[in-house]
Amino acid sequence: MQYFSTKNPSEKVSFQQAVRKGLPDDNGLYLPDQIPTLSEEFFQNLPNLSLGEIGWEVAKQFVENEIPEDNLKALVEDTLSFDIPLVEVEKDVYSLELFHGPTLAFKDVGARFMARCLGYFNQQNNRQVTVLAATSGDTGSAVANGFLGVEGVEVVLLYPKGKVSPFQEKQMTTLGQNIKAFEIDGSFDDCQRLVKTAFLDRDLSEQLGLTSANSINVARLIPQSFYYFYAYGQLIDKTDKPIVFSVPSGNFGNLTAGVFAQRMGLPIHHFVAATNVNDIVPNYLLTGDFLPKPSVQTISNAMDVGNPSNYARLHYLFNGSREEFANDMTGYSYTDEETKVALQQLNGLDYTGDPHGAIGYLGLKAYQQNHEVTGVFLETAHPIKFKEVVEPVLNTVLEVPASLQAFLDKQKVAMECGSEYEVFKEKLRNL
């Protein structure tokens, strides 16, 4: 299996090279040169397979012999050391709870897998790398936890000042060791721009051995396909209706991973791309115009993205055709007020959601108004990570898990920085 840039399909690299580089020199994104189809036997046996068994079968298609099968199997099992339960919320509506990992967010899956892949590769050649990642919330905490203490890897995280939740901020600024954080005076888009500019700065990139842990890195993206198979396996005996996944979306990595699963043969009937008012992709699906714009701050901050990176991958996978795109995907966007109403609706069904999952629920319900389907919405983070929103909306007090409380008791350490690249570059070099 080789990987090519969305901007230059003729130039190909290995899985290890794609993981280490993160971003091609031409500022495209890496895609596998083929998306393999899994066997019919595998799909028939899905209900009997564990999450780890599913993850190993999927991962080895993309990694092949670059990590020996026994090592890869252990790596995947270690990555997926927690459950991802499918919870029935109401008739034909299920929540796939992706928040049972160490940092209580879906990004634990991708971050842990990537960290372990880089750790394995580093053991083979002793090359120092610096993971550079922008975050609008949960990416930072998941990456920090996943890479903590990994030999040969330094981690630098950029997050927008005042635009992440207190829990999210503490989870990425209190760990120390090989984890460093920049508090950027700007938006997530500014953070992402700084990261991309650094990767394209060849001297800096080579000096620090830069790689990315955002969903622009294929090692973050591929493992996020695992849980679509797992959810389908849990659901297949419970319904005879077509199955739809509603994915709360910001940078669109999670949804791109779902498309990977579908292309591998998983019979997903349709996707719902559910966003907040940062509605770049839903607008594209309606009009055919992809129009990035400055992001707007919302209560679902992990989706506050005005120029979603993974659109480039989706655009390529759908052959640049809005019609093909829209055939597999419907987009909806929602305001903060609509999100709060959805949280209350879920609470009335004895289910406590977070703002991102609530938007996924709204998108699914909208699609079900005109389609007879069974739907799964992705619940991407534990509600406690957004207690400042959830508690007043539901008029309740959420219990703080012990794992999060431990972070709150620690001292934040972050370097403040503006959004000018040259200033950031100098500070990065002097860390």
Supply φ then ψ for residue 93, to 5 degrees.
Answer: -130, 120
CB contact set of 146 (below 8 Å; sequence gap of 6+) = 108, 111, 112, 114, 115, 213
Catalytic, 107? Answer yes
CA distances 41 to 37, 45, 48, 54, 229, Å, are 12, 6, 12, 13, 14
How wide is the angle at C-alpha 390 spanned by C-alphas 386 and 394, nearest 5°? 170
In angstroms, the first-to-last Cα distance of the chain is: 36
State how far the Cα of 184 lies from the Cα of 392, in Å rounded to an integer: 28
The active-site residue, picked from 60, 107, 196, 340, is 107
What are the tokens at 234? 């849990």
Q: Are the CB atoms for 293 and 263 separated by under 8 Å?
A: no
State how far the Cα of 119 lies from the Cα of 97, in Å rounded to an integer: 27
How wide is the angle at C-alpha 260 spanned by C-alphas 254 and 266, nearest 5°? 110
Return the active site residues: 107
